[in-house]
Structure formats: C-alpha cells, structure tokens
Chains A and B, each alone.
Chain A
Amino acid sequence: MLRVNEGIDPLLRRPFSICGTTDGEIALILYKIAGHGTEILSGKKAGEKLSVMGPLGQGFTLPGQNEKAVLVAGGIGIAPLYFLACALKDNQMEFMSGFDTSGNIISPEKIAGRSINISIATDDGSEGYSGMVTGLLDEYLDKNIYEKDSIIIYACGPSAMLKKVSSIAACREIPCQVSMEALMACGLGACQGCAVKVFPQNDLTLYRHVCKDGPVFPAHIIDWGAI
C-alpha cells in the first residue's frame, strides 16, 4: 500500500504489486496511470521518498517441481506475474500477456532485468495473437498435451478476464490461482472494504478480503457469478 502524497489528496493509499527486487532490497513497482493517484505518482522524480506499507497479503504458491506453470496476464496484471516468473526456470513456464493494442504493451524486463519469453495477444490484432489473451490460452491448451495434475495456471488482470480464465481452468480441470483486484482502504484486513464473494463454506462466511486473504486466491473458491 503506497501513499502517493503526504496530506489528504488523495486520502487513501493505493495498492500495488511487487514486480521485482534488486539485491533482495528494492521492490520495483510497475504502474499505469489509471486516475488521480497514479497521475501524481507519475510526476515523482527519482530519489523522492514515499511511504510504503508492505508486503501484505498472500502471494502465489509456487508450482511443484514437475508442474508446468502457465502465466496469463491482462494489461498491468503482468506486474506480479513477472515477479513470479523470475522465480521459475524458463522451461518450466509458458507466459502469455494480453493488451488492448501494441502501443500499450508493457515490457517489465526493461525495468527488472531478466528477459523472459512472453507471448503477446492484442485485442485489435496490432501485434501477436489477434484477440483476447484467454483465446491464446485456449489455443495453447488445445495444442499441448498435458496431464491434468502436471500443469497449473496463474492469472492476473481485469476481473472479466480472470472470470474467463477461471472458467477455462474449471472446464479442463486444471488448478488455477488468480490475483484479484479490489478497491482498498486499510490493506490490513480491518475495514472489510476489499471484500470478494466466495462460495459459502459453512453457510456463514461469504466474503474474503483481497488485501489479507488474497490478493491471490484459488480460482475455484471465488463466486464468479457475483463479479
């Protein structure tokens, strides 16, 4: 949780993913300008200090030794997946990332060093696969023969994309972890603002908190009908 400004404009902190580390010390944050807060952030100069609270919540669970990881990113969702990819061997993963158009392609390796082969999909077909990244995922899974328990999908992106990835994974009975987005206030599990609806487990708990219980959840526990 990052405070983009001292003072009260904007009032609340903004959640960001860690995209990489240098010497185990500096967390690199990749961001896109979404509104007022990120606009202010984009005006900061190198060397300026900002208040950061973290790391918070639960990250991705690494795949088993013989498991193939399929990483599916939508837009800025590439940030945490790139960090995950840095912990994996090249031959252990397949990384695909969707953007609306070629001009908006984000290349995290420019910031964080390690170069990773990423298949690109663009909605307008201006580069790589023409269409949504979920189409690319379907195509990959169709073409490649795998054992159900030897593959795992990791996804981060807009909710609609995560919903689609989750349904693809469910149809093919592949385990899937999703990193969810939510508006946040405290980041500590205290305000209950960042709730996400999950299938009731004992009739009572209907919500989990993206900041503390997440942002990464097993896709099958999320009640996608509510999204």
Chain B
Amino acid sequence: MNRSPDLRVTLGPLEMKNPVMTASGTFGYGCEFESLVDLNLLGGIVVKGLSLKPMAGNPVPRIAETPAGMLNAIGLANIGVNEFIEKKLPWLRGIDTSVIVNIYGHSTDEYEDLAKAFKGVEGVAALEVNISCPNVEMGGMVFGKDPALSARVTERVVKNTDKPVIVKLTPNVTDIGALARAVEESGADIISLINTLTGMAIDIERRRPKLANVSGGLSGPAIKPVALYQVWQAVNSVKIPVIGIGGIIDYRDALEFLIAGAKAVQVGTANFVNPRATMDIIEGLKGYCIEKGIDDINRIIGSLNI
C-alpha cells in the first residue's frame, strides 16, 4: 500500500488535519517561524501564553542548558491579550491550521476575563488553559498543584467561552490521575500534558544558580520518559482526549505518545534545535504508516500492547 495515510484526528469538539502541534512558548506567535516552516502543514499552532496585560518577564539569565534538555524561567513574557487579537491574530487567520490560544491568569477572575476576551473572536480553534501559574490570591500557590483549584479555574473558563477548552496540566504533582479527573469533571473538553518539570542548575565557579529566578522549568528529551508515563496515566484516568507533550524530537517520540493513547502531540524545545521539527515529524508519521500498511493514524492511537 502506498496511498497517503489519513492523518486527521478528532479531539472531542476539535478537529485537526494531523496530530502534530507546536507547544506554547516555543513557537512564539507563529510568525517567527514563517520563513522556515510551511505553517499550513501543521495540525495546530499553540501560541505563547497570553495574560490580560502585557508582561515583561523575569530577569536574565532566563535559560540554562542541561543534559539533553534546558531550564527556562522566562516568566511568561508576552504581549497581552489585546495586542495579540489586534496585531497577531489577523495574520494567523490566513494560515490553514488550528490556532490554539494558551492563556494564564493570576487569579480565577483573570482566567474568566481571558476566556471572555476570546468570546466570539474568529480564528481561534480552542483555548488552552495553563494552570501551572502561581495564584496571587492564595499566596503564590500554583493553581495546577491543587485539584480543587484546577477544577475551579476550569469551570470558570468553560462557563465563559464558546470555544473548546484544553486544560494543560503540570507534572509537578503526586497524583496526575486525580488532577486529570478533577479537570474532566469540571467540563474540560481536552487535557494536555506535560508542562515543564521544576528544576535548577548551579554554576560551580560562582556558586550561584544558573537562572536569575533560581528555579525553572525543565524541557526537552530529558523529560520524555516522565512525560510519557504521566500521559499514559492520564489516558487511563479520563474519557476525554489527551494531548501528549514532553521531549518530542522526532516522529518516533511522537509515535510513543500516540501509542500510549494521546490523540495528538505538541512539540516544544525541539523547535529550537530543528525549526522544522514539526514538519519532519508529520512526514515521519506518514512514512511509518505507509511502511506498516496503516491507512488511518487513529489505528495507532492507544494501540499499546501490555
């Protein structure tokens, strides 16, 4: 069989032409990669996390390389929701892909306002809610570490939007299944995971942290096994579709997540190493299907034999 396999996937209310998306914060607002990537080929583009007001971000250094990975403490620097809608979104509408907007707030009220800001706005296929943020009302406790708080954020967003809602989970918890279930019960349409794992690195010459922020989020190939296990646990805990993220560099990595049951994947740090990583992964998935005589990518999803 040599026919081009069907790569389309359906994640609840969200339909995509293939299961490969870019991960938030690693692909800017899409335009940064325009000259290098045919954006029309991508299943989806998840833009940099947006807050109500523009944010300048953390002091530098903000990044540190680690074995097979990197730490970042960007501090969610972004242009803010209004400028995004005015200046970036019109251009993104011209691209034939699912544009997904990643949002984060410092309080449940802010999450609600962000959801409202996109109500009726065209060209946005879904909202992805980043709950790995400190809650200023609760002394900086990270929303996503507490199932009850995560549920509350999810509910507020779901109530105030006309778009499919993806909730993006943090891996820095003891029971990812419980968190996934809490979010599902509060109305999330889709779950995506994992966000970065908290870590740190030290400069031994100066005996100082390599990041000005002391700690940061670990990403890249180093986190893949952890990510894969958490994705598999999430898949087994909920009925809603799951998007797998973490350390995906090539199509083989993507396949691992799909076989574990993820309906789609997001590619993050790999975009820095190979800006065309997403395109290469899509081609690789096609090639794998052809080689194995599989006519529909959905036959691979969740096909893990134990």
Contact = CB atoms under 8 A, between A and B. Distances in A.
**Pair from one complex:** yes
Please classify the interface of chain A as helix (H, G, I), strand (E, B), loop, or mixed, using the class held by over half of its residues. loop
Given A11-B273, A207-B77, A189 B62 contact: no
Nearest to B221: A8
A188 B269 contact: no
A182 B60 CA distance: 9
Interface stretch (B24-32, B121-129, B132-140, B144-152): B24-32
Given A11-B70, A183-B64, A193-B74, A53 B57 contact: no
B28 A190 contact: yes
B32 A197 contact: no
B284 interface: no
A192 B220 contact: no
Given A188-B32, A188-B275, A207-B77, A193 B62 contact: yes
Given A11-B221, A189-B28, A197-B60, 4 more contacts: A183-B63, A187-B272, A190-B27, A205-B54
B249 interface: yes
Interface size grouping (class) on chain B: 20 to 34
Interface of B: 25-28, 32-33, 36, 48, 54, 56-57, 59-65, 67-70, 72, 74, 77, 220-221, 249, 269, 271-275
A192 B32 contact: no
Closest 5 CB pairs of A and B: A190-B28, A193-B63, A206-B56, A190-B32, A185-B272
A212 to B, nearest CB: 8
A196 B28 CA distance: 18
Interface of A: 3, 8-13, 51, 53, 182-197, 204-207, 212, 226
Given A11-B69, A13-B272, A204 B62 contact: no
A198 to B, nearest CB: 10
A155 B60 CA distance: 21
B257 to A, nearest CB: 18
Nearest to B27: A190
Contacts of A182: 60
B149 to A, nearest CB: 27
A12 B65 contact: yes
Nearest to B247: A8
Given A8-B249, A11-B220, A186-B272, A192 B54 contact: no
A186 B271 CA distance: 7
Contacts of A188: 28, 32-33, 36, 275
Contacts of B36: 53, 188
B67 A9 contact: yes
7 contacts: A9-B68, A12-B65, A190-B26, A192-B48, A196-B60, A204-B56, A226-B60
Most buried by A among B57, B62, B68, B271: B62
B25 A191 contact: yes
